[in-house]
Structure 1
Amino acid sequence: MNVLLIEDEDLAVRKLSKLLTEIDGSIDIVGKAASVQESVDFLKNNPAPDLILMDIELADGQSFEIFEQVIVESPVIFTTSYDEYALRAFKVNSIDYLLKPIKRQELEASLAKYNRLTKGTDHEADKSSRNLDLEAIDSLVRQLRQQIQPTEYRKRFLVKHLQQWIPIEVTDIAYFYSEEGTSLFKSRNNQKFSVDYTLDELEKMLDPDSFFRANRQYIIGVQCVAQINPYFNNKIKLMLNPAPDSEVIISREKASDFKKWLGK
C-alpha cells in the first residue's frame, strides 16, 4: 500500500511512519508533505497514492485548501487535535479521522477499515468506490470547516435599566428564562432584566460549555447550579442560585446530556 503523509510536525511524521511500518510491513510511504503547497505539488506530479494521512492544520494553512487546488483521488484519513465530540459524526465511507496523539490501536482500526473497503474490488467497483469517497471528502471538508472555525459567542447584552441602557457581561448571568412570552435573565447578584430574543435564539448565541438548555423555559449557566435532586420518572430537579421563580425540571431524556455537560 502506497501512503502519502501530509503533516507539518517532524516528530509526528517520524512516529506515524514508525507506527505504519510496524502495523503493516508492506506499507510504502511514497511521500511526505508539510504544507498545502507541497501537498498540491506532490498530488499534481505523482500517481495518486492508495491512501493519504492528512493533518488538518499545516505550516501554511488548513489542509482544506488542498482540495480547492487539486483533485484528490485517494481515500483520506484526517489527523487532528480537535475535539473528538465535534468530529465523531464524520466517519463516512473510507474516510476516517484520528485524534492526536495517535494511538496504535486506532490507527490499526483505520487501516483495517480501509482494507475492508478496498479488498477484492475490480477496476470499475474501485472507481465507483473512489467516487463515493470523493463525494464524502467534499461533504466532510464543508462540515469540518464549519466545525473548527472559531465560533463567536455572545459576550454581553445591552439591557434597559430604569432610564438608561447598561451592558451586562454574559459571565455575570446566572440563567435565562421565559415568562408569559417574554425572555428574561437573572444576574448572579439576583437582578432581573428582559432581552429581545427568544430562548431558541439565545441558545445559539451562548457558549454551550457555559450554558445548557434545561427545558423549554430555562437556559441555565453552569455556575448557577447549586444542587441536583432526583425527581420522579428519572427526571432531575435543579436548585439554582439565585433561586428561580418556578421549578426547573430536566426531563429523563435530557438528564444524561445534562450530567455530561455539568461534569466537563
Structure 2
Amino acid sequence: MNVLIIEDEPLAARQLQTMVQDYDSDVTVLDILDSVEMSVNWFAKNPHPDLLLADIELTDGQSFDIFGHVAVRCPVIFTTTYDEYALKAFRVHSVDYLLKPIDEATLRRSLEKFRDMQRLYGAARPALDLGELLKTLRPVAPLQPDYRDRFLLKQGARLVPMEVIDMAYFFTRDRLTFVQTWDNRALMMDYTLDELGQKLSPQRFFRANRQFILNVKAVSHVHLHFNGRLKLDLTPPTDEDVFISRDRAAEFRAWLGE
C-alpha cells in the first residue's frame, strides 16, 4: 500500500509515518508534504497513492484547497484539531478523520476501515466527491475560533499595539497580569489569565498553572520532577519556578508533540 502524508508539523508527520509503518511494514510512504503548493505540484507529477493522510490546516492554507486544483483519486483520512460537531459532514461522505493528538489505536482503526473498504469495493471504487463534501462542510460552523493575533497594551499614558508572535509567556504577580516579550520586557496587561486563555490559540499557548500561560516556543527544557510533576525552563528565563502538575503532565506533553 502506497501512502502520501500531508502535514506541516515535522514531529506529527514523523509520528504518522512511524505509526503507519508499524501497522504494516509493507506500507510505502511515498512522500511527506507540508503545504498546499507542494501538494498540488506533487499530484500533478506523480501517480496517486492508495491512501492520503492530510492535515486540514497547512502553512499556506487548508488541504481542501488542494482538491480545488487537482482531482484527488484516492480515499482521504483527514487529521484535524476540530471538534465532533464540525466533523459530522465527513461521515456522510465516508471520509474518515483523526482528531489530534493522534494515538496509535485510533490510526489503526482508520487503516482497518480503509482495508475493509478496499476488500468490499476493490480497486475500481470511485473517487470521493470532495466538491460535494466541501459544500456540506462549509455551512456547518466556523472551523476555527477567532483567536487574537495582537493586543493593545498600556504603557503609562500611551497605548502600544503588540503582536502575539512577540509574546513569550503571560504571568501574574501581585494580582496583576504581565506579558513577557522575547526581548525580555515585562509589560502589564488589562486581562486576567482566564480571559487570555479564551483569546489565545491553544495550539500555540498552554495554561501551565494558575500563574503562567506559555508560548510553545518559550519552553526550552522539561525536567521530570518529584511526584509526577514537570519542571520547566523558559526562554526568556524567569525567577519563578514553573511546574506542570501530575494531573496535567500528559496533556502538556501531548501539546508539545509527544
- With normalisation by structure 1, the TM-score equals 0.51
Structure-1 residue corresponding to 2:68:
68
Q: Distance in 2 between matches of 1:115 and 1:74?
A: 13
* Shift of residue 83, structure 1, vs aligned partner: 0.9
SS at match of 1:91: helix
Structure-2 residue corresponding to 1:32:
32
Q: Distance in 1 between matches of 2:143 and 2:88?
A: 18
Structure-1 residue corresponding to 2:57:
57
Letter of the aligned partner of 1:145 in structure 2?
A: R
CA 1:150–1:51: 2 relative to 1, 3 Å: closer
Structure-2 residue corresponding to 1:21:
21
* Shift of residue 89, structure 1, vs aligned partner: 4.5
Q: Is the 8 A contact 1:51 1:75 kept in 2?
A: yes
* Shift of residue 150, structure 1, vs aligned partner: 5.8
* Shift of residue 73, structure 1, vs aligned partner: 0.6
* Shift of residue 130, structure 1, vs aligned partner: 2.0
CA 1:36–1:114: 2 relative to 1, 3 Å: same
Q: Distance in 2 between matches of 1:93 and 1:83?
A: 17
Q: Distance in 2 between matches of 1:54 and 1:77?
A: 6
2:137 counterpart of 1:130 = no
Q: Distance in 2 between matches of 1:101 and 1:147?
A: 23
Any stretches of 5+ residues in structure 1 without a counterpart? 154-264
Fraction of identical pairs, as percent: 45
Q: Is the 8 A contact 1:56 1:62 kept in 2?
A: yes
SS at match of 2:32: strand
CA 1:88–1:114: 2 relative to 1, 3 Å: same
CA 1:151–1:14: 2 relative to 1, 3 Å: closer
Any stretches of 5+ residues in structure 2 without a counterpart? 147-258
SS at match of 1:119: helix
Letter of the aligned partner of 1:56 in structure 2?
A: I
Q: Distance in 1 between matches of 2:55 and 2:99?
A: 10
CA 1:51–1:148: 2 relative to 1, 3 Å: farther
Q: Distance in 2 between matches of 1:100 and 1:148?
A: 19
What are the within-5 Å matches in structure 2 for residues 211-226 of structure 1? none
| Rg larger in structure | 1
Structure-1 residue corresponding to 2:133:
140
Q: Distance in 1 between matches of 2:3 and 2:141?
A: 26
Q: Distance in 2 between matches of 1:151 and 1:97?
A: 17
Q: Deviations over 1:47-86 (max 9, x none)?
A: 0100000000001001111011011111100000011232
Q: Distance in 2 between matches of 1:89 and 1:118?
A: 22
Letter of the aligned partner of 2:38 in structure 1?
A: E
* Shift of residue 145, structure 1, vs aligned partner: 2.8
Letter of the aligned partner of 1:130 in structure 2?
A: P
What are the within-5 Å matches in structure 2 for residues 105-124 of structure 1? 105-119=105-119, 121=121
Indicate the structure with greater helix content: 1
Q: Distance in 1 between matches of 2:49 and 2:68?
A: 18
SS at match of 2:3: strand
Q: Is the 8 A contact 2:89 2:136 kept in 1?
A: no
Q: Deviations over 1:95-152 (max 9, x none)?
A: 2011000111111111111111112655xxx33x224x2x2x2222233333453699
Q: Distance in 1 between matches of 2:19 and 2:46?
A: 24
What are the within-5 Å matches in structure 2 for residues 147-186 of structure 1? 147=140, 149=142
What are the within-5 Å matches in structure 2 for residues 228-243 of structure 1? none
CA 1:115–1:149: 2 relative to 1, 3 Å: same
